[in-house]
Structure 1
């Protein structure tokens, strides 16, 4: 299927009713679209992807100095085989960073998700990585906040209807990702939906991202300069299922080719609880409620929903930082209503 069969949305068109209608259609019928005229030039994107390649070309020893195993906040480097999706290992390596914050002392933790709050890990051998990526983080955050407000407008509610869940800044999580070439097709990242409000993906020239539509998987081929946008589960929840969080996956490249991408996830603040928007009658009639995976239930409180995903994906970090008695007690209280007994096989947190 041709890449153009996914909608292409111009940010510049969203000041018009026609542009908002196209945005709503893309977000409700597909859940994925290309975004152009977003303010980050094609050349700037190539520079960020080159920076990503430079990071992954660091020696194994240099990358291990910022290994995620050191971070109870799930920041830093993951080598191949250290992240799981849908219960299977992903064939990729990555570097994760989030909002730069001060960690809370253990004795002040009231909720387990507060353990996610903390500083990022930055390699001392690559000093420009921190300023470049935090600048990119601010740019992408601005794009997602603006886009979220435009989506609210497209739903016939106040553009600021979800602003109270964001506060001064949204919760953000970003990844540099490298998919090494494999001898045969493998799971680069398994089929899943994203948990937040919105995801932006910056791709290099290699395909591999696939979106589920009906009974088939379609390629999301790179379009130079365009960002790929997808709707997250929290936005599906807030729209009572009108907007769609769509299954997607990445297949590993083969024949000596590598794939690089940068993924940016935006959600409400970790302390927020997601409301259901009061849609106008004609749209409310089309909203059938959010879909949910019984093996990975969606929680309306953002912090626990985000933490649940991290605990399942990064088992080595979970075992090291979330299995002591005090944290297990907090987990038991917060996840009493969710199927979380499989989060940590060693201690059944």
Structure 2
């Protein structure tokens, strides 16, 4: 397979300045190889294939850590009423300002988080032949390995591979989950669901609505996990790890390692989300912005291509409704003569169909449903 990787890279690199370039042919060859980005790196390439080049990508020359923008919120004492009200207010403030924050003391041991990241890394660092068994884009068994969910829709691919898994309403059959991370995935599913449920309650309380409003709409039930692997990129100024985008669901819970690279759009500046060991990154998705009637913000974020020899690993859980025909729109309690509905109602099925037929291009679907 190394020969295939070299051929893909050489053919694309040789055409960087050619007028004739069959992008779809190169993309299909990459897809058929089932190598993933790591397979290209392992082949020893020194330049990235042309279809990974983002011609309009410009790294922010002065990114900022800005902890005042992306706060770290301590969940200690959340079971006490006085502390809970304060925590809900902090979370609400962060979501109204930017829609991103980190949480600590969430109840998941740091030792487990480290072990889980290691298990996901272990999956991606298996021999290509082993991972290729799971290389697919169809949901099928609920477990798949691929590179770039929007590979055939995007103008340029991004430098990452992904292990994707359905966590809820039910896990895949245990034998379908890769043995190298099976135990950790099962435990992570339970722990992420518990933290996600608590966050949903706090988010609702911050809006002044029934704390179970999101759970009643079954946003805790449909959970999808993605374990991203960002290997070393030989030309990180030409591509990205994940292109600028907003998340489609209600809520995203992210565990990242200490390598860094996640950035959030704040005004015209890209702000680094500095890794905090043991913390979970939380962000609002488009559907929660819609349901909150624009009280909470779903903002653009991206991941830079990894310039270091140490791979970056992150695991995200997307919380979404599992009712395809359910009608979504602003929560009724948030609509008033003073604050009329900003969005029309629509079905979850219509929304997800639109999301999965577009590229990750920074454009949010919220605009499509605005009144």
Measured in 1, the distance between the counterparts of 2:293 and 2:173 equals 34
| Structure 2, gaps ≥5 residues long | 1-63, 361-367
Contact 2:327 2:348 in 1 (8 A): yes
Q: Alignment partner for residue 270 of structure 2, among 192, 213, 217? A: 217
Q: Flag the 1:46–1:196 CA change in 2: closer, same or farther, 3 A.
A: same
- Structure 1 equivalent of residue 226 of structure 2: 175
Q: Displacement, 1:121?
A: 9.1
Q: Aligned to 2:255, what secondary structure does the other structure show?
A: strand
- Structure 2 equivalent of residue 266 of structure 1: 319
User: In the alignment, does 2:198 pair up with 1:198?
Assistant: no
Q: Flag the 1:232–1:71 CA change in 2: closer, same or farther, 3 A.
A: closer
User: In the alignment, does 2:367 pair up with 1:304?
Assistant: no
- Structure 2 equivalent of residue 162 of structure 1: 214
Measured in 2, the distance between the counterparts of 1:215 and 1:221 equals 19
- Structure 2 equivalent of residue 345 of structure 1: none
Q: Aligned to 2:283, what secondary structure does the other structure show?
A: strand
User: In the alignment, does 2:330 pair up with 1:276?
Assistant: yes
TM-score, scaled to structure 2? 0.70
- Structure 2 equivalent of residue 38 of structure 1: 106
Measured in 1, the distance between the counterparts of 2:259 and 2:337 equals 39
- Structure 2 equivalent of residue 54 of structure 1: 122
Q: Alignment partner for residue 158 of structure 2, among 64, 72, 90? A: 90
Q: Displacement, 1:309?
A: 2.9
User: In the alignment, does 2:195 pair up with 1:143?
Assistant: yes
Q: Flag the 1:31–1:284 CA change in 2: closer, same or farther, 3 A.
A: farther
Measured in 2, the distance between the counterparts of 1:313 and 1:73 equals 24
Which structure has the bigger radius of gyration?
2
| Structure 1, gaps ≥5 residues long | 103-117, 291-297, 315-337, 340-349
TM-score, scaled to structure 1? 0.74
Q: Flag the 1:246–1:127 CA change in 2: closer, same or farther, 3 A.
A: same
User: In the alignment, does 2:301 pair up with 1:248?
Assistant: yes
Measured in 1, the distance between the counterparts of 2:217 and 2:314 equals 28
- Structure 2 equivalent of residue 333 of structure 1: none
Measured in 2, the distance between the counterparts of 1:166 and 1:279 equals 18
Measured in 1, the distance between the counterparts of 2:345 and 2:189 equals 26
- Structure 2 equivalent of residue 7 of structure 1: 71
